[in-house]
Amino acid sequence: MVKISEIDAKSMWDNTKQDLPAHQRILSEIVFSNAGSHKVCWICGNEKDIFLISSVMDNGKQMQAILCENCLMIQENTGLRVVESEKIE
C-alpha cells in the first residue's frame, strides 16, 4: 500500500494531463470538480479501492495515474500497459 496526499495527486495530474487525449482531460476535470479532490479515480471518481499506477503510453512515455480497481481492469483489457500498481491507503 502507498500513501499519497491531495497535493501529490494534483501534482501527478499536472504532470500527466498534457499527454492524455483532450476528451479524457475534460472528463477528468469534471470528475475532480464533482469530487472536490484529485485523489479519486481519474476516470469515474470512485474514492474506494483506488490504485496508483505506472503505465507506458503508446509513445513510450511512462505516466502515473490513479484508477479504481474496476477502471484499471477495463483499461488493462483495452490495452493499457501497466508497469506497476499499488493500492492507495
Convert the pLDDT of each residue in 54-88 to its tens digit.
Answer: 999 888 889 999 999 999 999 999 999 999 999 99
Task: Classify residue 15: in a domain, yes or no.
Answer: yes
pLDDT of amino acid 60: 86
Question: Which pLDDT score is estimated for 7?
Answer: 97
Residue 3 Cα distances to 9, 10, 33, 86, 89, angstroms: 10, 14, 22, 10, 5
> For cell 508497469, what's the residue?
83
Asked whether residue 1 is domain-assigned, the answer is no
Residue 17 pLDDT class (50, 70, 90 cuts): very high
Give domain status of residue 75, yes or no: yes
Phi, then psi, of 66 in degrees rounded to 5: -115, 120
What pLDDT score was predicted for residue 52?
A: 98
For residue 57, tell me if it sits in a domain. yes
Report the number of distinct structural domains present in the chain. Answer: 1
Residue 16 has pLDDT above 90, yes or no: yes
Beta strand spans in the chain (E): 50-56, 62-68, 81-87
The terminus-to-terminus CA distance of the chain in angstroms comes to: 6
Task: Give the structural domain span for 64.
Answer: 6-87
Q: What is the pLDDT of residues 26-51, one digit of tens each?
A: 999 999 999 999 999 999 999 999 99
Q: Find where cell 469534471 sits.
A: 30
